[in-house]
Structure 1
Amino acid sequence: MPPSSPVRAPSNVPASSPSGPSLAPSLNLAVIGNCQISALLDAAGSVVWCCMPRFDSTPVFDALVHAPDGRADDGVFSVEIEDFVRSEQAYDPGTAIVRTRLFDAQGQSVELVDFAPRFITRDRPYRPAQLVRRIRPLTGHPRVRIRVRPRGDWGRAPPITTSGSHHLRYLLPELTLRLTTNAPLTYVTDGSWFVLHKAVSLLLGPDETLDDGIEETARRFEEQTALYWRHWTHRLALPLEWQDAVIRAAITLKLCQFEETGAIVAAMTTSIPEAPNSGRNWDYRYCWIRDAFFVIRALNSLSEVGTMESYLNWLYNVIRSAPDGHVQPLYGIGRESLLPESMVDGVFGYRGMGPVRVGNQAYEHFQHDVYGSVVLGAAQAFHDQRLFRQADASDFQALESMGEQAWRLHEQPDAGIWELRTRARIHTSSALMCWAACDRLAHVATRLSLPERASLWRERARTIRIKILERSWNGERQAFVESFEGQDLDASVLLMGEVGFLNPQDARFISTVKALESTLCDGYFMRRYEGRDDFGLPETSFNVCTFWHIDALARTGRRAEAREYFEAMLARRNPLGLLSEDLAPATGELWGNFPQTYSMVGIIHSAVRLSAPWDSVV
């Protein structure tokens, strides 16, 4: 029986907004950044989210969670055209530079070019906490309005504003910003309409003077940033098919890396609900250990060694600093271990659907799958001769502490991969990843010519494997279930195929895939689990689960179906080619924090697996 959800064909047509900037908020957003900061722009080119001076800082623009009706007067950096009727928006190919065109009722138009500077100078990356906006008239004599309304303390602290000859300074509780521009400062301060006769530029960032003229600096920054990204894209190993989707996913994954430490955040936002009015609002501006295996595998498949090695270095820092071998589910981007969760008073939330949370209580959880994720990810460094520093026997000894934890905890209850807050079970996915830790340590020990250690880890992996096969298999459901001696189905058991626990042609794995399809799939899209959690039954599908399903389809020989499901997922990307964490199958609308690293990794992995080979056309 074919899936019930309709599919719209993927499109590379630029995003278009049929109405004005007061459009209700959605996740039809573009992301710009430079691996130090990032910003989200809506379809009309307004910056509605930006944290400075780093991803997890208090936002200076937060209209995304402050304007339930889409009419944001504060927490926004907007460029508007009078009598606005529509917009077009797209990335410059192969870059993180966004181009937005605004049209008025008379057919006049302006173009906005937005980016965060990033290029190499003096043999090191130049990536200031700065946004650059370039505005030029395209047709006619359009009137525009520029509004720069940063706020501190989550909207509760308007800035003290001072001005110079060509700049405005915004003094916020957390930092001071300088806007340097050749636009009329009075018009910017007052938010007045004026005729745009010539191009103007706005550079917002550290309270520092420019070395050169405003237009010259903005032009040079744009040219060098474009050149950087095109060179970066040029080096990627791409599949034959779906290259546009993979390039955009790869750039977005790179933008999610805080390059100073190598950490990669789960998403750029906090508190975008997983489903409407669900209360499932979490802060994702941190680095989750469970992502390690998937992120490293995606980067490796693209041959993006620099980003991968930087992330591996961050991961090894986590391993070597883990007290008594204990690893938290997540850390801050500076490897902060304390991330206390609180709710922000007086903030509406996305579309008015609060609460807005800062921090994440999950750092306190015990999630035993993290040890397998660490070992799976870190093992790359023992096998990859491209790395500047290959892992050695000392690194293996540190990694064995992760294996010891996995062995000790493999049949102990935990919060599980989905971070359940009010119950603990022996989760199949956690035991599975503990098996993976022992199994990969055996492989590494063999590579290092340590036969006794290899034998020890191989025997431990065998013991855990027997327990999983006996205790997670449910004969009544004809499927592996979410916990030992459990009843409920859970998409995370699909990882049995991804980590090599079972041959995908095993009848039990094939039966499990079919059981999950009949229970968890809404058309092409898969929910996480069928049981109730702390907030009730899940309403939306979880994008990474859909990608796991696509992988399972391919592994079990259903390749044509896998390609069909993958095309359906690509069709649900927003007009800029990005995905959040969740989507509503009935409408295709995106929900959850944005852009989601897990989801972008899913695009890369599925495209690489499903693409026709290059030798089919050469």
Structure 2
Amino acid sequence: MTNSLDLALIGNCQVGALIDSTGKIVWYCLPRFDGDPAFCSLLQGHQTGSEKGYCAIELVDQIKTEQRYLPNSAVLVTRLTDAQGGVVELTDFAPRFRQHRRMFTPMMLIRQIHRRQGTPRIRIRIRPVYDYGREACDRTYGSHHIRYVSPDWVMRLTTDASITTIVQELPFFLEDRLTLIFGPDETIPEAIHELSRRFLDETLAYWHEWVRDLGVPFEWQDEVIRAAITLKLNTFDDTGAIIAAMTTSVPEAPNSGRNWDYRHCWLRDAYFVVNALNRLGTTHTMERYLRYLVNIVAGAPGGRIQPVYGIDGQGHLAEREVETLDGYRGMGPVRVGNQAYEQIQHDVYGSAILAVTHVFFDQRLVQRGDAALFHRLEPLGETAIQVHDQPDAGLWELRGTKRIHTFSSIMCWAACDRLSRIADRLHLTERTIYWKAQAELIHATICRRAWNEQKKAFTAAFEGDSLDASLLLMHDVGFLAADDCRFASTVAAIERELRQGDYIFRYVEQDDFGTPENAFIVCTYWYIYALVALGRSEEARLLFENLLARHNRHGLIAEHIDVRTGEQWGNFVQTYSMVGLINAAIRLSKRWDSAF
């Protein structure tokens, strides 16, 4: 079976796992999202009998699989049917619920195996590895557990299944139900089945309560709820960071070499993520993420910040290639870490300030912005002034070239514009005047140097003639009003040059890796935002419905899409894409008070 992104995500904001359509766990990192993958067969090119790095519950003579999430939850159910009519059901989840007045999110996955019909015969294969697939874990046994040992972590399987059948991978008839609990190297003091049942009930109750508090649009509620749960699962509770995706090195296009580690936190995502969380009403998650951002800002030396940080807030993300995994469908390299942390990307100043602006204006938040925080933000604004007309790697992280990217300059303008608004909110009149004047100067520079009269459009770079999908956001960030003829004209130019079928490419010119082959999904969502702003909502709805049809069976989507086949590519599940769905649905949906 060829690897695909027809995957489901389970997790608890400490760990996350990807499960394929047969119920096989193909990706699971320890002890947290950016850790060593104990299960990593997603990045193995061929699935053979000697394959390592997965956990499978195999049904002998299997002929059919079905899979679904339990409603409004992160609990996955996989139903396997054999040729004789025997049926086995797998229930997978990571415990998350409130216990002893705090959130309980252990490094734990639970697999419940139920016989639902007939006399099914199953085989359990558990083959964890360490150091990115370099070695199989050492094993030690007890009467009801197996310890899988690596130099850096121990994963303990506690089970009421036969240890012998698991170790020797022997087939056996499933009489009723079994439980597999993957967790830290700690003894479980109570009956395994009872603990598993209690944890499932508590976890379902948590997710139902969490979903109940969401502010969802009238239309596309199921899709928005699934996107919101997924966004939550990409949140690392301990620090509040939100990762770009759960995986590393799923290529943006076949054999493209565009294979990157996305298990980190990009500041450019901050503005869009915080907007989505705000619209959904998930203020607790938003507050924790904002706290993560504020801590990064506070530690920024001389008002300089990086494009990307680790989920612990650390800035050093040295990139290396690992030779022990041959890559998704054999398409290496597999990379760990991301060299983008060393890049110069000037849009990050606007992204950070746009996000943090919420703490000054959102009355629901417990910790509100004050003059002290404002003065911590000002050095970022001063840096934005200095770099707004200087070359950088740009939003798309070009590794071989630097230009004065228009979007980077627009975000530098946004940094100054929001600082003026914050200062006004805090009644700091002198600072209001100062930041407003700086914003106006940058705005005038952009309008003079980025507008191409021949194309009747703002271009990707100053004095340039190529286009960039990020310019669809000029209205969204407030740089141009919707009725400014230059906005409509720029959108029209992007339609002419970057639209292929129902998708928008981020750009079409060659970069360090050649000409882009697949469409960057969030760019089409940005196009939808622009169409709504221009009053072209019916067109936007059609494009939105098309994008929803390209999500996998669970409503999840990666970073890129093949415009010819609709196949997903790139790291999975992509935060940018899921946030795009949420923000587009909220913009397009009928209002609750006018829907009936």
What is the TM-score with the length of structure 1 in the denominator? 0.96
Residues 499-518 of structure 1 mapped to structure 2, 5 A cutoff = 499-518=477-496
Aligned counterpart, 1:586:
564
Give the Cα–Cα distance (whole angstroms) in 1 for the partners of residues 325 and 513 of structure 2.
21
For 1:25, what is the secondary structure of its paired residue?
coil
Offset, 1:211: 2.8
Which of 210, 224, 229 lines up with 2:202 in the alignment?
A: 224
Task: State the Cα deviation string for residues 561-612 of structure 1 (Å, max 9, x = none).
Answer: 0011000110000111001000001111000000000000001000000000
Q: Could you tell me which residue of structure 2 aligns to residue 482 of structure 1?
A: 460
Whether contact under 8 Å (1:520, 1:529) holds in the other structure is yes
What CA distance in whole angstroms lies between the structure 2 residues aligned with 1:406 and 1:617?
44
Distance in 1 (CA, whole Å) between partners of 2:45 and 2:90 is 23
Q: Helix, strand or coil: the match of 2:577?
A: helix
What residue in structure 2 maps to residue 410 of structure 1? 388
Name the CA distance, whole Å, in 2 between partners of 1:169 and 1:317.
38
Separation in 2, partners of 1:275, 1:617: 41
Task: Assess if the C-alpha contact under 8 Å between 2:531 and 2:539 holds in 1.
Answer: yes
Residues 1:76 and 2:54 aligned together = yes
List aligned pairs for 1:164-313, cutoff 5 A. Answer: 164-313=142-291
Question: Counterparts of 2:333 and 2:455 in 1: how far apart (Å)?
Answer: 38
Is residue 394 from structure 1 mapped to residue 366 from structure 2 by the alignment?
no
- Given the alignment, which residue of 555, 563, 585 partners 2:533? 555
Q: Secondary structure at the match of 2:135?
A: coil
Alpha-carbon contact 1:439-1:458 (below 8 Å) kept = yes
Which amino acid letter does the alignment assign opposite residue 126 of structure 1? F
Q: Structure 2 CA distance, aligned partners of 1:237 and 1:192?
A: 49
The aligned amino acid for 1:536 is G
1:461 equivalent in structure 2: 439
SS of the residue corresponding to residue 55 of structure 1 reads coil
CA apart distance, 1:71: 6.2
2:105 corresponds to which residue?
127
Shift of 1:230: 0.5
Partner SS state of residue 188, structure 2: coil
Residue identity in the other structure for 1:614: W
Displacement of 1:617 in angstroms is 3.2
Which of the numbers 33, 46, 63 marks the counterpart of 1:55? 33
Equivalent residue number for residue 600 of structure 1: 578
Aligned match for 2:312, one of 327, 334, 343: 334
Checking the alignment, whether the CA contact within 8 Å between 1:157 and 1:173 is kept in structure 2 is no
SS of structure 2 residue aligned to 1:217? helix
C-alpha distance after superposition, 1:479-531 (max 9, x if no partner): 11100001111101111011011012221111111111121112111111121
Distance in 2 (alpha carbons) for counterparts of 1:403 and 1:595: 33
Q: Give a deviation string over 1:524-581, Cα, whole Å, max 9, x none.
A: 1111112110001100000110100000011011000001100011000011100100
**2:342 pairs with 1:364:** yes
1:446 aligns with 2:409: no
Q: Following the alignment from structure 2 to structure 1, what is the Cα–Cα distance between the partners of residues 46 and 406?
A: 40
- Do the aligned residues in 1 keep the contact of 2:45 with 2:331 (CA within 8 Å)? no
1:127-166 CA-partner distances (Å, limit 9, x unpaired):
0111100000111000001111100011112111111110
Following the alignment from structure 1 to structure 2, what is the Cα–Cα distance between the partners of residues 371 and 493?
17
Distance in 2 (alpha carbons) for counterparts of 1:363 and 1:264: 16
Most deviating of 502-511 and 247-256:
502-511
Query: CA-to-partner distance for each residue in 1:5-44, whole Å, 9 max, x for gaps?
Result: xxxxxxxxxxxxxxxxxx2110000000000000000000
Q: CA deviation at 1:72?
A: 6.6
| Unmatched 5+ stretches in structure 1 | 1-22
CA distance in 1, matches of 2:312, 2:131: 21
What secondary structure sits across from 2:474 in the alignment? helix
Query: In the alignment, is residue 613 of structure 1 matched against residue 578 of structure 2?
Result: no
CA RMSD of superposed structures (Å): 0.9
Shift of 1:385: 1.4
Question: Following superposition of structure 1 onto structure 2, how do residues 129-168 of structure 1 map, counting pairs within 5 Å?
Answer: 129-168=107-146
Tell me what 2:74 maps to. Answer: 96
Counterpart of 1:3 in structure 2 is none
**Inter-partner Cα distance in structure 2 for 1:88 and 1:502:** 48
Deviation at 1:174, TM superposition (A): 1.9
Which ranges in structure 2 are unaligned for 5 or more consecutive residues?
A: none
Distance 2:3 2:153 in 1: 27
**Distance 1:268-1:506 versus aligned 2 partners, 3 A rule:** same
Residue pair 1:170, 1:177 contacting (<8 A) in 2 also: yes
1:247-306 residue CA offsets vs partner (Å, 9 max, x unmatched): 000000000010000000000000000001100000000000001100000000001000
The residue number in structure 1 matching 2:321 is 343
TM-score, length-scaled by structure 2: 0.99
Distance between the aligned counterparts of 1:359 and 1:448, measured in 2?
Answer: 40
Provide the secondary structure at the position in 1 that maps to 2:475.
helix
| CA shift digits 1:204-263 (9 cap, x unpaired) | 010001131100011011000000000000000110000000000000000001000000
Conservation of the 8 A alpha-carbon contact between 1:59 and 1:152: yes
| 3-state SS of 1:497 partner | coil
DSSP-derived class of the 2:112 partner: strand
Aligned to 2:199, what secondary structure does the other structure show?
A: helix
Shift of 1:70: 7.0
**Aligned runs of 1:315-330 on 2, under 5 Å?**
315-330=293-308
Structure-2 change in CA distance of 1:69 and 1:517 (3 Å)? farther
Distance 1:372 1:71, change over 3 A: farther
Secondary structure of the structure 2 residue equivalent to 1:498: coil
1:490-501 mapped onto 2 (5 Å cutoff): 490-501=468-479
AA matched with 2:319: E
d(CA) in 2 for partners of 1:151 and 1:564? 45
C-alpha displacement of 1:67: 3.6
Range with bigger deviation, 153-162 or 411-420: 153-162
Secondary structure at the aligned position of 2:438 is classed as helix
Cα distance in 2 for partners of 1:70, 1:330 equals 37
Query: Partners in 2 of 1:215 and 1:521 — Cα distance?
Result: 54
1:38 to 2, 7, 16: 16
What secondary structure sits across from 2:372 in the alignment?
helix
Amino acid at match of 2:88: V
Does structure 2 conserve the Cα–Cα contact (< 8 Å) formed by 1:24 and 1:70? Answer: no
SS at match of 2:52: coil
Residue 380 (structure 1) aligns with: 358
**Which range moved further: 506-515 or 258-267?**
506-515
* Residues 519-528 or 232-241, more deviating: 519-528
Letter in 2 for 1:591: W
SS of 2:129 mapped into structure 1: coil
How far off is 1:69 after superposition? 4.5
| Counterparts of 2:41 and 2:345, CA distance in 1 | 34
User: How many residues are matched?
Assistant: 596
| 1:105-146: CA deviation from partner (whole Å, max 9, x where unpaired) | 122110000000000001111001111000001110000011
Confirm or deny: 8 A CA contact 1:177 1:207 kept in the other structure.
yes
Partner Cα distance (2:544, 2:276) in 1: 16
Structure 2 CA distance for aligned equivalents of residues 52 and 563 of structure 1: 41
